[in-house]
């Protein structure tokens, strides 16, 4: 985090919601947690307000962009194009505004805030692809905080220009990778480069592997012509120099009674993705050159549009022209968590949404499509594999998972666990699987600080691959990994510190999980359970009480039928 308030009297730099300082203290640096979403009522109210603002801005953007491009697209079209971006963008400014306002209301000291210099055009992005990297950077957060501090003004805060200049070197490197066209391997050349313009059933990024996808295509009578899974921004970004429409982006609107709403709306206008403003027409022309299906009856995907501007644009065009849009659940949290916008968006935009078992309204109970190997007893399974969730100190969604204070609690419990296992057999057996994505926390450094004997698995190898030599798994969140373990009957435990995240209708299942000592809220509870496991873990895991629970839980959240999943998938696609 770049920005801080300076207390001249005590010569102290005051940071807001920066847990890193808690783990690596420095002289004359102080962190203050502003707890907003720890209060469930406030979190619910903020979600309602963000929902309302999201829908209001989306409707206004529909009219503004239609007028700008001289077209007539409906709300659903634009929501497919950039719904996830808009929600994350609004949430970022909303949360930081509320945080800063609360800090200022409680602050009684005279403080100095040093404003960081930054170039606004450097923070523009082509689409959701590069925005997802940008909004996790300290530079983007710095820009947000600087803009809010300048807007809200406070008599106790003196603004001074800092000598700091914001650079986005890491993001520039990431963008180069995103924009660069991939080299085509033999499989791509043979199956993905054929003429697919007349395909009627389009499916991609469904979690089926290449050979399973090929079998599906053959069963559908579409031969060996597959819809590409690996299109990138580089496939549609033209080489011509980008010229921002500064007149449009700098226009100031005053359409709300609320200062916060006006502020966020103007930031949205200023920051619209380039591919939906200046490059919109050229993008559509370039999209046509990719020889994608012209009139598909159906498009089906699991994770193919929310994080890809190219796929989102293609799907939006075809759905508007009459194509059906099916979405298959792609990971955990769906159906389980409160305030899960990504899941709500999938359900809203799809004609059919297929779950891993649960249904609340019109969702269709289905199955996990990803290939997962079932657990088998083996003497070679000697390791304990613990998975760490990647955390950013900058919230991207209005839920308790994104509270900086809860991230602090998360790592605090992990550190306690690593201290508790010192000089034990658990320590000798343990492998820690870090996320391939590292944001603000240097987890390895943090963990070794409390226990220098810890061992780490390859962070770039998948959890499914890493678990092959493990006798049981430890998850540190209620996430996709534990559902894959349930589906494949793999022994596991969960350490979960996040309060009140589960929907009320399913809390009874998690109470059962706690009773069986599979789910723990503290490091000490987890340690005591593992320490007292029987020498033959299968005797415990394969007991009737564990297996009966797993059967019940699997029916809600982790149905898996590897033998028949291709036929089951084809049946839905054919309908």
Clarify whether residues 164 and 203 are in a common domain: no
- Mean pLDDT on 272-279: 94
Q: Give the position of tokens 């508790």.
A: 420
Clarify whether residues 57 and 204 are in a common domain: no
**Domain boundary pick from 141, 176, 211:** 176
Clarify whether residues 212 and 361 are in a common domain: yes
In a domain, 281, yes or no: no
Distance CA 575, CA 572 (A): 5
**Beta-sheet strand order (sheet of 430-433):** 430-433, 383-387, 470-475, 492-495, 519-520
Q: In this structure, what is the dihedral angle of CA atoms 280, 281, 285, 287, given to the nearest 10 degrees?
A: 20
Helix (H) or strand (E) holding 410: helix 404-420
Q: Is residue 104 scored above 80 in pLDDT?
A: yes
Distance CA 52, CA 75 (A): 15
Distance CA 489, CA 418 (A): 26
Written as one string, the DSSP assignment of 283-344 is HHHHHHTT---SS-SEEEESSSSTT-HHHHHHHHHHHHTT-EEEEE--SSSTTTBTT-HHHH
3-state secondary structure 447-500: HHHHCCCCCECCCCCCHHHHHHHEEEEEECCCCHHHHHHHHCCCCEEEECCCCC
In a domain, 275, yes or no: no
In a domain, 484, yes or no: yes
In a domain, 274, yes or no: no
Residue 164 vs residue 546, higher pLDDT: 546
The pLDDT value recorded for residue 138 is 85
Q: Of 216-220, 239-243, 326-330, which range is least confident?
A: 239-243
The pLDDT value recorded for residue 164 is 65
Clarify whether residues 204 and 351 are in a common domain: yes
Range of the domain at 403: 383-557
The pLDDT value recorded for residue 240 is 52
Residue 358 vs residue 288, higher pLDDT: 358
Measured CA distances, 573 to 191, 200, 228, 317, 327 (Å)? 20, 11, 18, 20, 11
In a domain, 161, yes or no: yes
Q: What is the CATH number of the domain that holds 485?
A: 3.40.50
In a domain, 222, yes or no: yes
Name every residue whose Cβ is closer than 8 Å to that of residue 160 and which is 6 or more positions away in sequence.
112, 113, 114, 115
Measured CA distances, 565 to 89, 348, 373, 396, 451 (Å)? 37, 25, 14, 34, 44
Which of 478, 440, 462 minimizes the C-alpha distance to 340? 478
pTM of the model: 0.94
Clarify whether residues 389 and 360 are in a common domain: no
In a domain, 377, yes or no: no
DSSP 8-state assignment for residue 401: G
- Assign 172 a pLDDT band (cuts: 50, 70, 90): low
Distance CA 192, CA 199 (A): 12
Clarify whether residues 194 and 62 are in a common domain: no
**Domain boundary pick from 153, 176, 199:** 176
Percent of the chain scoring above 70 in pLDDT:
93
Q: Is residue 239 scored above 70 in pLDDT?
A: no
The structure tokens listed for 540 are 């415990």
**Domain boundary pick from 176, 202, 220:** 176
Clarify whether residues 550 and 569 are in a common domain: no
Clarify whether residues 76 and 223 are in a common domain: no
Clarify whether residues 187 and 325 are in a common domain: yes
The pLDDT value recorded for residue 394 is 85
In a domain, 539, yes or no: yes
Name every residue whose Cβ is closer than 8 Å to that of residue 52 and which is 6 or more positions away in sequence.
none
**CB-CB neighbours of 453 under 10 Å:** 12
Clarify whether residues 45 and 137 are in a common domain: yes
Distance CA 405, CA 498 (A): 10
- Assign 181 a pLDDT band (cuts: 50, 70, 90): low
Question: Count of domains in the chain?
Answer: 3
Note the pLDDT tens digit of each residue in 119-165: 788 888 889 988 988 888 888 898 999 999 999 989 999 999 877 66
The pLDDT value recorded for residue 188 is 58
The pLDDT value recorded for residue 163 is 73
Q: Is residue 190 scored above 60 in pLDDT?
A: no
Q: Of 252-266, 275-289, 495-509, which range is least confident?
A: 275-289
Burial 325-355 (b: 16+ CB within 10 A, else e): bbbbbbbbbbbbbbbbbbbebbbebbebbbb
Clarify whether residues 461 and 511 are in a common domain: yes
Q: Give the position of tokens 């979690």.
A: 207
Clarify whether residues 552 and 569 are in a common domain: no
Q: Are 475 and 413 in contact (CB under 8 A)?
A: no
Which of 58, 65, 82 minimizes the C-alpha distance to 130? 82
Q: Is residue 341 scored above 70 in pLDDT?
A: yes
The pLDDT value recorded for residue 77 is 98
The pLDDT value recorded for residue 170 is 64
- Assign 169 a pLDDT band (cuts: 50, 70, 90): low
Distance CA 485, CA 213 (A): 24
The pLDDT value recorded for residue 120 is 80
Burial 200-224 (b: 16+ CB within 10 A, else e): ebbbbbbbbeeebbbebbeebebee
């Amino acid at each position: 985090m770049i920005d801080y308030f300076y207390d001249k009297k005590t010569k102290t730099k005051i940071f807001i919601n920066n847990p890193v300082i808690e783990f690596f203290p420095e002289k004359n640096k102080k962190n203050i947690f502003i707890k907003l979403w720890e209060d469930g009522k406030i979190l619910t109210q903020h979600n309602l307000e963000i929902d309302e603002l999201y829908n209001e801005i989306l409707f206004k953007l529909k009219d503004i962009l239609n007028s700008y491009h001289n077209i007539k697209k409906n709300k659903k079209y634009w929501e497919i194009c950039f719904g996830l971006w808009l929600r994350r963008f609004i949430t970022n400014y909303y949360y930081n505004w509320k945080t800063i306002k609360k800090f200022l209301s409680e602050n009684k000291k005279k403080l100095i805030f040093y404003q960081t210099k930054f170039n606004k055009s450097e923070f523009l992005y082509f689409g959701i692809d590069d925005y997802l990297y940008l909004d996790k950077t300290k530079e983007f957060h710095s820009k947000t905080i600087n803009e809010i501090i300048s807007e809200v003004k406070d008599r106790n805060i003196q603004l001074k220009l800092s000598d700091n200049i914001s650079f986005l070197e890491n993001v520039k490197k990431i963008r180069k990778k995103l924009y660069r066209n991939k080299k085509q391997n033999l499989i791509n050349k043979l199956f993905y480069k054929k003429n697919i313009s007349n395909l009627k059933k389009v499916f991609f990024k469904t979690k089926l592997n290449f050979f399973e996808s090929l079998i599906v295509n053959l069963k559908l009578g579409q031969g060996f012509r597959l819809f590409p899974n690996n299109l990138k921004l580089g496939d549609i970004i033209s080489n011509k120099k980008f010229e921002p429409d500064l007149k449009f982006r700098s226009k100031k609107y005053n359409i709300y009674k609320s200062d916060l709403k006006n502020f966020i709306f103007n930031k949205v206008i200023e920051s619209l993705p380039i591919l939906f403003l200046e490059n919109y027409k050229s993008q559509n022309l370039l999209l046509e050159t990719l020889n994608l299906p012209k009139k598909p009856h159906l498009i089906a995907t699991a994770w193919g549009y929310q994080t890809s501007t190219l796929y989102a644009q293609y799907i939006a065009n075809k759905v508007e022209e009459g194509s059906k849009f099916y979405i298959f659940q792609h990971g955990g949290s769906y159906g389980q968590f409160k305030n899960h916008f990504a899941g709500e968006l999938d359900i809203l935009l799809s004609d059919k949404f297929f779950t891993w078992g649960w249904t609340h309204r019109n969702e269709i109970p289905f199955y996990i499509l990803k290939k997962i190997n079932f657990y088998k007893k083996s003497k070679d399974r000697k390791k304990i594999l613990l998975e760490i969730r990647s955390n950013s100190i900058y919230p991207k969604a209005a839920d308790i998972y994104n509270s900086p204070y809860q991230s602090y609690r998360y790592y605090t419990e992990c550190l306690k666990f690593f201290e508790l296992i010192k000089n034990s057999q658990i320590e000798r057996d343990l492998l820690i699987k870090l996320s391939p994505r590292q944001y603000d926390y240097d987890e390895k450094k943090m963990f070794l600080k409390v226990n220098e004997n810890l061992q780490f698995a390859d962070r770039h190898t998948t959890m499914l691959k890493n678990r092959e030599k493990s006798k049981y798994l430890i998850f540190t969140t209620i996430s996709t990994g534990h559902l894959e373990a349930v589906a494949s009957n793999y022994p596991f435990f969960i350490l979960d510190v996040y309060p009140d995240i589960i929907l009320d209708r399913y809390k009874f299942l998690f109470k059962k999980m706690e009773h069986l000592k599979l789910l723990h809220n503290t490091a000490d509870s987890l340690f005591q359970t593992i320490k007292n496991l029987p020498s033959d873990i299968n005797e415990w895991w394969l007991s009737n009480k564990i297996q009966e629970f797993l059967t019940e839980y699997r029916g809600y959240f982790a149905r898996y039928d590897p033998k028949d999943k291709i036929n089951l998938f084809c049946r839905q696609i054919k309908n």
